[in-house]
Structure 1
Amino acid sequence: MIDHLDHLVLTTANEADCVHFYVELLGMKLETFGSGRKAFRFGNQKINLHVKGHEFEPKAHTPVPGALDLCFIASIPLDRVISALKAQSVPILEGPVMRTGATARIRSIYLRDPDLNLIEISELVA
């Protein structure tokens, strides 16, 4: 019945810090749509952005910043991701560690975005 994820919604307490993290640090593309709504585009997916207290309707029952645990597959080798994050003084909480992804084994690192969502960045392992 379900084929793939089109988008998800992230609620932030600080739009500027959130945009900086996903666009400047992770390299996603900022997209504006509708009546000034923002989203982060990467590959064939996107993350729509809601600002706490100014959410687009309909919305989750209890939208709160910091409630997500997201895993992204990197477009470059994980060691290059780690180097880029360290160059920007982004703390890595854990990793690299081996995990099980949706389609294969993955090698992952963990960090937090400005709203304290857990962000996992991974590479597929052959």
Structure 2
Amino acid sequence: MITAIDHIVLTTADLARCVAFYRDVLGMTLETFIGGTPPLERLALKFGSQKINLHLQGHEFEPKALRPTPGALDLCFLTEQPLEAVAAQLRVHRVVIEEGPVARTGARGRISSIYERDPDRNLVEIAVYQP
């Protein structure tokens, strides 16, 4: 029945800091679109064929999660770059790597991962599949 994840929603306490992290540090593209109930202009961060829709805490769009909360997500993003290059990019932006590289298991098999946090303290894992 289910074939893929199309998008997720991230609730943030600070839109500007959130956008800066995902756009400037992780290289996602910021876009605006019309959506929600009632239809309003919204923000999303796009990467590959996925996107993250953004909600500002206290000003969420309907429908929404029962308890939308900044810092409640544990996200894993895939990269094709060597993790050493990703870690170097994170250091340029003064992002602290909490753990890694470490061996983990992804949806399709073995991955190597590094962990850091976004401005809302969501756990962000960046991983590369191992041969």
Q: TM-score, normalised by structure 2?
A: 0.94
Number of paired residues?
126
State the 1:39 CA deviation.
0.4
CA distance in 1, matches of 2:45, 2:33: 11
CA distance in 2, matches of 1:55, 1:78: 34
* Structure 1: tracts of 5 or more residues without a match: none
Task: Select which of 93, 97, 105 maps to 1:100.
Answer: 105
Larger CA deviation: 83-92 vs 61-70: 83-92
* Structure 2: tracts of 5 or more residues without a match: 35-39
State the 1:36 CA deviation.
2.1
State the 1:104 CA deviation.
1.4
2:67 is equivalent to residue 62 of structure 1: yes
Match of 1:123 in 2: 128
2:34 is equivalent to residue 29 of structure 1: no
**1:37-48 correspondence to structure 2 within 5 Å:** 37-48=42-53
CA distance in 2, matches of 1:93, 1:13: 22
Identity %: 60
CA distance in 2, matches of 1:39, 1:75: 22
CA distance in 2, matches of 1:113, 1:90: 8
**1:21-55 CA deviation, whole Å, 9 max, x = no partner?**
00000000001001320000000000000000110
Q: TM-score, normalised by structure 1?
A: 0.98
CA distance in 1, matches of 2:4, 2:93: 33
2:101 is equivalent to residue 112 of structure 1: no
Alignment RMSD (CA, Å): 0.7
